[in-house]
Structure 1
Amino acid sequence: MTSRLVLVSPALTAALREARFDDGCPLDAAGLRQARAAAGSLPVAEHVWSSPTVRCRETAAALGLDAVDAPELAALDAGRWRGETLAEVGAREPEALAGWLADPTAAPHGGESVRAVCERVAGWLESAGSREGRTVAVAEPEVVRAAVVTALGAPASAFWRTDVPPLTAVELSGRAGRWNVRMGHPL
């Protein structure tokens, strides 16, 4: 059985523009316009999921998707760095930030490590791969990164080498444990 999975990254928010760890902010006016303009551009799907974050829910709604929240697609828990920019964290905790970016098992912020996100997403991919038909999921950029790393069988250290622009789609096809990846195309 072949499964098809389309992962859509959320539209623009102030947090994404500012390289800020998600703080629950909504889509900005430009992001909302772009998402509404892309409505109808996704293939029909039997299963539609969304990260429970505000920006993913709003993106799904603007795209005209009736999505169900999937906790496994939640944003990386940035712990005490939540709401801060990379520049702010780097100025205050340069060694901690450098360690987090270099070591997938590190979680100096008290939240989730990159490896933990990859493992969480791998579990979700396993269940998505067992469903027949197409699945569309609006997911945080780090979740899309983790899915690509997992699908390619790459080490968690490859996580930071994958860019996920706003409002793009990455397609996975195959079955759990054996995925093909079609890299992000804009909606």
Structure 2
Amino acid sequence: MTVRVMLVSPTMNTALRQPRFDDGASLDDIGRRQARAVAGALPEAGRYLSAPSVRCRETADALGLDAEQAGDLRDLDVGRWQGRTLDDVSAAEPRAVAAWLSDPLATPHGGESLSDLTARVGEWLDARSVESGRILAVVEPAVVRAAAVHALGLPLRTFWRLDVLPLSLTTLTGRAGRWNLHCGQPLRPAPVPTD
């Protein structure tokens, strides 16, 4: 039995442009248009999921997906940093940010550690490895990173070295407890037919 888990990162909104820890903001018009433009480039799946964030749910909607919410695929909980810009937090709490970026067990914000996030996403992913078929989920970039780190058995310190672009597709194919990774395929708008 083989399962294919396809992870799509959400389109842009103000939180991703600034960069800001998710503040629950809706997609902006540009992000919504970008998602609609690539909807036809999505691979087929037997099951569609979305992380519970506004950004992921609205991206799934703009992509035309009837996606069920998956709480286990929620974003990293950054506690009291939620909604703040990284620059603001870095200026106010430079040691805390340095610890967070260098220690996967650190939770200076009072939320969830990278280790906890990777374990949570890894448990969800491993539960899928006994299934077959295709699952497509719209999830935050941190969840894509955590899935890649877990699936390949990478050291947790590599988490921050993985870039996840908006509206990119990362595919994990699993069978017999082993995962293969196809990273960051950009979703491109379908060509416009010419007459």
Q: Give the whole-Å Cα distance in 2 for the aligned partners of 1:128 and 1:10.
A: 22
Q: Give the whole-Å Cα distance in 2 for the aligned partners of 1:82 and 1:171.
A: 28
Secondary structure of 2:41's counterpart equals coil
Q: Give the whole-Å Cα distance in 2 for the aligned partners of 1:158 and 1:75.
A: 18
Secondary structure of 1:12's counterpart equals coil
Which residues in structure 2 correspond to 1:35-54 (within 5 Å)?
A: 35-54=35-54
Which stretches of structure 1, 4 residues or longer, exceed 6 Å deviation after superposition?
none
Q: Give the whole-Å Cα distance in 1 for the aligned partners of 2:96 and 2:64.
A: 40
Secondary structure of 1:44's counterpart equals coil
- 1:27 maps to what in 2? 27
Tell whether 2:153 aligns with 1:153: yes
Q: How many residues align?
A: 187
* 5+ residue gaps, structure 1: none
127-136 or 4-13, which deviates more:
127-136
Which residues in structure 2 correspond to 1:21-170 (within 5 Å)?
A: 21-170=21-170
Distance apart, 1:41 and its partner CA: 1.3
Residues 148-180 of structure 1: CA distance to partner in whole angstroms, max 9, x if unpaired?
111111011111010001110001112263111
1-10 or 170-179, which deviates more:
170-179
Contact kept, 8 Å, 1:126 with 1:176, in 2: the verdict is no
Q: Give the whole-Å Cα distance in 1 for the aligned partners of 2:48 and 2:186.
A: 19
133-142 or 42-51, which deviates more:
42-51
What amino acid is aligned across from residue 112 of structure 2 in structure 1? E
Residues 12-47 of structure 1: CA distance to partner in whole angstroms, max 9, x if unpaired?
010000010001111111110000001121111111
Change beyond 3 A, Cα 1:79–1:98: same
Q: Give the whole-Å Cα distance in 1 for the aligned partners of 2:128 and 2:163.
A: 23
* 5+ residue gaps, structure 2: 188-195
Distance apart, 1:95 and its partner CA: 0.2
Secondary structure of 1:40's counterpart equals helix
Q: Give the whole-Å Cα distance in 2 for the aligned partners of 1:49 and 1:176.
A: 23
What amino acid is aligned across from residue 96 of structure 1 in structure 2? A
Distance apart, 1:112 and its partner CA: 0.5
53-62 or 168-177, which deviates more:
168-177
Larger Rg: 2
Distance apart, 1:143 and its partner CA: 0.1
- 2:16 maps to what in 1? 16
CA RMSD of superposed structures (Å): 0.9
Identity %: 58
- 1:173 maps to what in 2? 173
What amino acid is aligned across from residue 5 of structure 1 in structure 2? V
Q: Give the whole-Å Cα distance in 2 for the aligned partners of 1:124 and 1:31.
A: 28
Contact kept, 8 Å, 1:125 with 1:176, in 2: the verdict is no
